[in-house]
Structures are given as structure tokens and as C-alpha cells.
């Protein structure tokens, strides 16, 4: 891996690389060759074409530095003039090779699985075919001449380029941020442009530039064999062909075009090296932000009244086959409120949150009677990026490793708020400072891998703060972090809420975290909310046997490390497995006949609580046989 100075911009790195001996050599060679290609035919075109029957097949002299050919034309002038055609055809073939290779290389990640496999297998077979034979085979098919040779050489480069791109793409496509982008519904084309290509750019550019040197040699070879450029046109290969039979008489005339091929080939190799060192992994330009989308603060939207920010009624997430992972939940989140959503994995808590953010992965389908955010129907008017921020478990999932953190943040403001590039960059630094990232100006120029785990999560929270979030949905935001960092991130979330007045929907399997941060807790089981209670009642006064069991499974400071923690026997039902009764019944110690027959609905349980249970803890159970006593006490008795 070439050395990267991530603190300086690409221009600085390029400047620095160009000041190294290899950089100076490459730059000088490129400029020289370009100059010769542009000016050569202009200055020496006539001299190279002038036939002089008095000076046929002469050796080198003051008048003819490399001698003359069989028509008395100046060979030195012809070598110089041939530069333009040679380079033009080489670059043309390279465009075909690189373009074709990129297309075939990226295709398996974009097209369907079957076609993708077919493409991969075809590329594999072609790569296994000896390159030179393949080239000659193509040259024979396309016939003698410049066009045929360009096509043959270009197409011969496609399989190795495609193989390289396929391998690189496969490694990038398996990464979390691509999976996250997929979950976020990023389209295939955007996925390729935004996530795949930037992350494979560096090795691809290096390969393509160096392969161009190979193309030059291959093309010259075809011309030398008489399969490429045909008279009266001439490139270096053709000149070599014409002069080789006189190599013992006038060696310079034959060696000059050969040397031109070798030196220019080396130049491409060096140029590739310099580009790779300067960090070919360049961020693509952000799309021009749509102007005039700045939300008008005076335009107060209609609300659902009573300070309700989010209102969802009968929210369902259905997958093909009719499997419902979220089975008709209803919830309100007040402005500024912190609500915890807890439950075992598979309970539907993450999907419920994704449904609010309009991020349910394909082929999941979201339906709801009501789905309102700040008075707007979320289905018509998704709010992600402006008023709704998401924080995921793995911060790397939300950050593209190829882009500088500051740039990624700035894009949110550019795309969603119509900010200019400079405004976006300034706000990014400001937001990084707000989440207490030290030296934010410097950190903004770094890439995610230069951040620690906790700092990345801070950066993701900062990304959420690029808009003016009214709701932050945090899905297991601290699970991937170590304990000390968890605390910092939780403190930060609390601070952010205080400063911005945003509401928080915190999804967690960790009741201790929820108890620390939230005002209210929603407990989910088998795609439904089974209890809605204030956090103060969570640890001691939960009414649903499932909530009780969850609380019983949490270790406390006083738990003897030697004692076994309570676990909930059995497993939650899969979507589609829920029958007519209470879905918790098979695992519930309080279950009665009624529980197996009919599912309880969420209904009021005191002034500020709801529970979905026929025999909630804290009431006399039907039949009066079960005392109003704690579930934990029952379980241990």
C-alpha cells in the first residue's frame, strides 16, 4: 500500500509525490511525450513525408540524424511524427479495455445472480486463455488494419481488467457500508458510482495505467507483424517493421522506434505508480445540490396536537408470503421525549424503527393506518436527513471508508438542505465540534478508518445533526463499543437531546441502557408492543410477564457473579408462527387456557401505562388463584 498522508488534500499529496524523483521523472516524461505528440506532426510532418530519391537508405548524418528509409524520408522525423498516431491508437485501445473491464467487472454486483455467475465464469475462461494467443485470435477476426488492431488489443485487455475489478468489487460489496447502503435503498447505479467505484479506484487506476504500457507494446507488436497500421500511415511498430531488415546497416533507424516504444511504456508504468501513490482513491464529486430546499423555519407544519411528534397506528411490515414481522403496532412519541424500544432479537423492534424512517429493506412492505411525523405523512414525505436522524449499531456501516468524514457530513447539508459546498464543509466541522471530536478541522479531513470506534459513532451522530433533527432513531448505538465508550456515547446522546430538543427512539436489547437514557419504554414481542410503561416502573413494576422476564435476565451490580442469570425459556415465535392465542403463552408461567385461545390487545393499565396480557403481574389473576405478586418471586419460588 503506498504511503498516504491523509492530512493533506489530494492536490497536496499529488504535489508531494510529484516532487519525489519518481514523480519528477514521470511528469517530465509525460509532458515530453505529450509535447512531441502535439507538435511533432506540425513541425516535422512535411520533413517526414518528403521523398528524396537522391538520399535513399542513407546512414546517420548531420542532415538525417537517424538516416533515411528506402524512399529517402528522414527516419528521425518519422519517429517523432509517429508519436501522435501511436499514442492515439494506444489510448483508444486502453479506453476499450478499461471500459469493457469495468463494465464486466462491476456487472456481477449489479445484475441478477444467474447472469452475474455467467459473466464471472466467462471472464474466468477468457483469463485462463493465453493472452498472446487471444490477442492474435482477435486480430485475425478483426482483420488487418488500425481499426482491427485497436479492437483486438482493447478487447484482449478486457478479461484481466474485468477479473481485477470483479475481485475488488467482491471485497467491497461484502462490506458493511455497502450492505447498509443497500438497506437504505440506494439504487444499483448509485451504489456502483458512490460506493463501489471510489473504493476500487486506486488499484484500478494503477492497473489501467500500467496496462496501457502493455497495450502500447502489444499494438506496436501487431503493427510490426504487419497486422496493425498500414502504409501510408505509420506508427512506431510499423517503422520498426520497415527498418528491421537494415538493422546491421543502420542500427539506429531500427532501434529508435523500438526505444520509443519501451520508454513510453515505462512512462505509463511510472505514471500509474505516481497516481497510486497520490491516492487514486478519490471521492467523486457530490451531485449538485438542489437549491432552494432550505426549510422555512416560519412555516410551522400542522401537528397532531398535544406535542405529538410521531404518530403511528396499525403499523405493519410484511414480507413475501404474508409473513408479518411487525404486526400492527401503534405508538406516539412526544416532542423531546426519549422512548426505548426493547425486546429480544427478532421481536420486530428494529424493523419498526426502520419503517418510521422509510428504510425497510426490500422486499419488506410497510403499511399503516396512520404514519405521521410532525404533522406530515411520512409515506409522502420522508424526513430522513433533515428532521430525522438514524444512528446504527456499527458506525462503519454509515460511513463510506473512501470518503473523508467531513465530506460525507457536508453532503447531507448539500443534498438535503441545499447548502453550498463551503457552507456544508463549515457546518460539518461545526457539528464534529458539537459532538466533541477534538481538532474537528483536521479530523474532518480524515477518513473513517483513522477514527476510533467511539469517535466514528460520534461522527455518525454529528451526521444526524447536519440537519435539524426532531427525532433521532438510534438502533443499538452502543452495542459495538466497549463499556467506557458506551457511556460517553450515551452521555452525548443525552446532551444532543438537551441542546436540540430532539426526541429519541432508542432501540436496545440492553435494559440498563434504556433505563439510563429513556423516559418511557415500549416492550415488543413477536412483532407487537406488549407493554408501554414509564421507565421508573420498568425495573420494579412491569406488568407483562415478558417484561418481567427480560428484567430478570439483566445482571445488576448486586448480582452474585456466581449465580446463573435468569433466562427466558423457549424461543420467540418466527413471523408467521403466531397462532390465535397470546404469542408469549408457550413461554409464560402465568399462561392459562384463555391465553392459548385468544390474543390479548394492548389496553390501558393505570393512567400512563398499557399492557397486552390477560393476567398482568400486579393484578389478581382471573380465578383469583394467582396472587398479585412479582413474577421474579414466582419464578424463584
Least distance (Å) between residue 581 CB and ligand SF4: 7
Whole-angstrom distance, CA of residue 220 vs CA of residue 334: 73
Least distance (Å) between residue 585 CB and ligand SF4: 4
Site for ligand SF4 in 573-602 (CB under 6 A): 582, 584-585, 588, 590-591, 595, 600
Using DSSP, state whether 473 is helix, strand or coil. Answer: strand
Least distance (Å) between residue 375 CB and ligand SF4: 36
Q: Which residues on neighbouring strands pair with residue 340, listed in sequence order?
A: 506, 521
Which residue number, 472 or 588, has a Cβ lying nearer to ligand SF4? 588
Which residue number, 274 or 613, has a Cβ lying nearer to ligand SF4? 613
Which residue number, 381 or 601, has a Cβ lying nearer to ligand SF4? 601
Which residue number, 184 or 582, has a Cβ lying nearer to ligand SF4? 582
Which residue number, 448 or 545, has a Cβ lying nearer to ligand SF4? 545
Does 631 bind ligand SF4 (CB under 6 A)? Our answer is no
Chosen residue from 545, 572, 573, 575 binding ligand SF4 by CB under 6 A: 545
Which residue number, 417 or 582, has a Cβ lying nearer to ligand SF4? 582
Least distance (Å) between residue 569 CB and ligand SF4: 13
Q: C-alpha distances in angstroms, 202 versus 192, 205, 282?
A: 15, 5, 8
Q: C-alpha distances in angstroms, 176 versus 255, 392, 398?
A: 54, 11, 8
Instruction: Please answer whether residues 508 and 473 qualify as being in contact, where contact means their C-beta atoms are separated by less than 8 angstroms.
Output: no
- Give long-range contacts, CB 8 A cutoff, 24+ apart: 493-497: 493/391, 493/461, 493/517, 496/434, 496/435, 496/461, 496/465, 496/472, 497/336, 497/338, 497/472
- The kind and range of the H/E element at 102 are helix 75-110
Which residue number, 558 or 636, has a Cβ lying nearer to ligand SF4? 636
Which residue number, 194 or 590, has a Cβ lying nearer to ligand SF4? 590
What is the size of the binding site for ligand SF4 (CB under 6 A)?
A: 12
**Residue length of the chain:** 637
Least distance (Å) between residue 619 CB and ligand SF4: 11
Apex CA 168: angle with CA 167 and CA 169, to 5°?
90
Which residue number, 257 or 618, has a Cβ lying nearer to ligand SF4? 618
The conformational region for residue 57 under phi > 0 = left, psi -120 to 50 = alpha, else beta, is left
Check the CA dihedral 620-622-627-630 and report its sign: negative
Does 229 bind ligand SF4 (CB under 6 A)? Our answer is no
How many C-beta neighbours within 10 Å does residue 609 have?
Answer: 18
Least distance (Å) between residue 629 CB and ligand SF4: 14
Which residue number, 236 or 631, has a Cβ lying nearer to ligand SF4? 631
Chosen residue from 177, 268, 615, 631 binding ligand SF4 by CB under 6 A: 615
Least distance (Å) between residue 600 CB and ligand SF4: 5
Does 614 bind ligand SF4 (CB under 6 A)? Our answer is yes
Using DSSP, state whether 525 is helix, strand or coil. Answer: strand
Instruction: Please answer whether residues 389 and 468 qualify as being in contact, where contact means their C-beta atoms are separated by less than 8 angstroms.
Output: no
Least distance (Å) between residue 525 CB and ligand SF4: 9
Site for ligand SF4 in 482-501 (CB under 6 A): none
Which residue number, 134 or 631, has a Cβ lying nearer to ligand SF4? 631
Least distance (Å) between residue 528 CB and ligand SF4: 11
Q: C-alpha distances in angstroms, 91 versus 56, 60, 145, 209, 257?
A: 34, 32, 16, 10, 18
Selected range binding ligand SF4 among 19-27, 69-77, 244-252, 610-618, rule: CB under 6 A = 610-618
E strands along 298-450, which residues? Answer: 308-319, 323-334, 338-342, 365-367, 370-373, 376-377, 388-391
Selected range binding ligand SF4 among 32-40, 230-238, 416-424, 613-621, rule: CB under 6 A = 613-621
How many C-beta neighbours within 10 Å does residue 566 have?
Answer: 17
Least distance (Å) between residue 348 CB and ligand SF4: 17
DSSP string, 393-431: S-HHHHS-TTS-HHHHHHHHHHHHH---HHHHHHHHHHH
Q: In the sheet where 610-611 sits, what is the strand order?
A: 388-391, 471-475, 503-508, 338-342, 520-525, 528-534, 610-611, 603-604
Whole-angstrom distance, CA of residue 213 vs CA of residue 29: 13
Least distance (Å) between residue 318 CB and ligand SF4: 24
Which residue number, 219 or 614, has a Cβ lying nearer to ligand SF4? 614
Instruction: Please answer whether residues 360 and 540 qualify as being in contact, where contact means their C-beta atoms are separated by less than 8 angstroms.
Output: no
Does 448 bind ligand SF4 (CB under 6 A)? Our answer is no
* Distance from the first to the final alpha carbon of the chain: 63
Chosen residue from 37, 374, 613, 631 binding ligand SF4 by CB under 6 A: 613
Whole-angstrom distance, CA of residue 167 vs CA of residue 234: 38
Least distance (Å) between residue 542 CB and ligand SF4: 11
How many C-beta neighbours within 10 Å does residue 2 have?
Answer: 15
Does 279 bind ligand SF4 (CB under 6 A)? Our answer is no
Which residue number, 353 or 591, has a Cβ lying nearer to ligand SF4? 591
Least distance (Å) between residue 176 CB and ligand SF4: 36
Least distance (Å) between residue 368 CB and ligand SF4: 25
For residue 595, give the nearest of 629, 635, 634, 546 by alpha carbon. Answer: 546
Does 617 bind ligand SF4 (CB under 6 A)? Our answer is no
Which residues sit at the interface with ligand SF4, rule CB under 6 A? 545, 582, 584-585, 588, 590-591, 595, 600, 613-615
Amino acid at each position: 500500500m503506498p504511503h498516504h498522508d491523509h492530512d493533506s488534500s489530494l492536490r497536496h499529496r499529488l504535489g508531494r509525490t510529484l516532487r519525489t524523483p519518481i514523480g519528477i521523472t514521470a511528469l517530465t516524461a509525460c509532458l515530453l511525450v505529450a509535447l512531441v505528440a502535439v507538435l511533432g506532426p506540425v513541425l516535422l510532418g512535411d520533413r517526414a513525408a518528403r521523398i528524396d530519391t537522391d538520399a535513399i537508405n542513407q546512414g546517420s548524418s548531420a542532415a538525417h540524424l537517424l538516416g533515411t528509409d528506402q524512399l529517402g524520408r528522414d527516419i528521425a522525423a518519422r519517429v517523432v511524427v509517429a508519436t501522435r498516431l501511436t499514442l492515439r491508437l494506444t489510448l483508444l485501445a486502453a479506453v476499450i479495455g478499461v471500459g469493457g473491464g469495468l463494465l464486466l467487472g462491476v456487472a456481477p454486483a449489479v445484475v441478477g445472480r444467474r447472469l452475474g455467475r455467467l459473466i464471472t465464469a466467462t471472464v474466468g475462461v477468457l483469463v485462463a486463455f493465453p493472452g498472446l494467443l487471444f490477442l492474435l485470435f482477435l486480430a485475425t477476426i478483426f482483420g488487418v488494419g488500425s481499426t482491427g488492431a485497436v479492437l483486438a488489443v482493447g478487447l484482449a485487455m478486457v478479461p484481466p481488467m474485468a477479473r481485477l475489478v470483479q475481485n475488488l468489487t467482491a471485497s467491497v460489496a461484502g462490506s458493511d457500508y455497502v450492505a447498509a447502503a443497500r438497506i437504505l435503498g440506494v439504487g444499483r447505479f448509485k451504489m456502483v458510482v458512490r460506493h463501489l467505484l471510489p473504493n476500487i479506484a486506486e488499484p484500478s487506476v494503477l492497473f489501467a495505467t500500467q496496462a496501457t504500457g502493455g497495450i502500447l507494446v502489444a499494438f506496436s507488436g501487431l503493427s510490426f507483424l504487419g497486422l496493425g497500421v498500414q502504409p501510408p500511415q505509420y506508427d512506431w511498430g510499423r517503422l520498426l517493421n520497415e527498418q528491421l531488415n537494415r538493422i546491421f546497416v543502420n542500427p539506429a533507424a531500427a532501434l529508435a522506434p523500438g526505444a520509443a516504444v519501451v520508454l513510453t511504456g515505462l512512462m505509463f508504468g511510472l505514471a500509474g505508480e505516481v497516481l497510486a501513490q497520490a491516492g487514486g482513491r478519490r471521492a467523486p464529486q457530490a451531485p449538485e445540490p438542489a437549491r432552494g430546499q432550505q426549510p422555512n423555519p416560519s412555516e410551522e407544519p400542522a401537528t397532531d396536537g398535544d406535542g405529538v411528534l410521531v404518530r403511528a397506528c396499525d403499523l405493519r411490515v410484511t414480507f413475501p408470503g404474508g409473513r408479518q414481522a411487525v404486526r400492527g403496532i401503534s405508538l406516539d412519541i412526544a416532542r423531546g421525549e426519549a422512548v426505548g424500544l426493547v425486546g429480544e432479537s427478532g421481536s420486530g423492534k428494529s424493523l419498526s424503527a426502520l419503517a418510521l424512517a422509510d428504510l425497510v429493506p426490500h422486499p419488506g412492505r410497510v403499511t399503516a393506518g396512520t404514519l405521521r411525523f410532525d404533522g406530515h405523512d411520512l409515506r409522502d414525505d420522508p424526513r430522513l436527513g433533515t428532521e430525522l436522524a438514524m444512528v446504527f449499531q456499527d458506525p462503519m456501516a454509515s460511513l463510506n471508508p473512501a470518503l473523508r468524514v467531513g465530506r460525507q457530513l457536508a453532503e447531507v447539508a448539500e443534498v438535503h438542505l441545499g447548502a453550498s459546498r463551503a457552507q456544508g464543509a463549515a457546518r460539518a466541522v461545526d457539528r464534529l465540534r458539537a459532538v466533541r471530536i477534538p481538532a474537528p478541522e483536521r479530523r474532518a479531513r480524515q477518513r473513517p478508518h483513522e477514527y476510533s470506534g467511539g469517535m466514528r459513532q460520534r461522527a455518525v451522530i454529528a451526521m444526524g445533526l447536519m440537519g435539524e433533527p426532531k427525532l433521532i432513531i438510534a438502533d443499538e448505538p452502543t452495542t459495538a463499543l466497549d463499556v467506557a465508550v458506551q457511556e460517553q456515547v450515551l452521555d452525548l446522546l443525552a446532551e444532543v437531546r438537551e441542546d436540540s430538543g430532539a426526541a429519541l427512539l432508542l432501540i436496545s436489547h440492553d435494559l440498563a441502557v434504556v433505563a439510563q437514557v429513556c423516559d418511557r419504554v415500549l416492550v415488543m414481542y413477536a412483532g407487537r408492543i406488549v407493554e408501554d410503561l414509564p421507565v421508573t416502573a420498568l425495573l420494579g413494576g412491569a406488568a407483562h410477564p415478558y417484561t418481567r422476564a427480560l428484567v430478570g435476565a439483566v445482571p445488576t451490580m448486586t448480582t452474585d457473579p456466581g449465580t446463573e442469570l435468569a433466562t427466558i425459556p423457549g424461543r420467540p415465535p418466527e413471523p408467521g408462527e403466531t397462532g390465535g392465542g397470546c404469542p408469549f403463552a408457550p413461554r409464560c408461567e402465568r399462561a392459562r387456557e384463555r391465553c392459548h385461545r385468544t390474543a390479548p390487545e394492548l389496553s390501558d393499565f393505570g393512567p400512563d401505562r398499557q399492557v397486552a396480557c390477560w393476567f398482568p403481574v400486579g393484578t389478581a389473576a382471573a380465578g383469583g388463584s394467582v396472587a398479585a405478586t412479582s413474577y421474579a418471586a414466582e419464578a424463584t419460588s
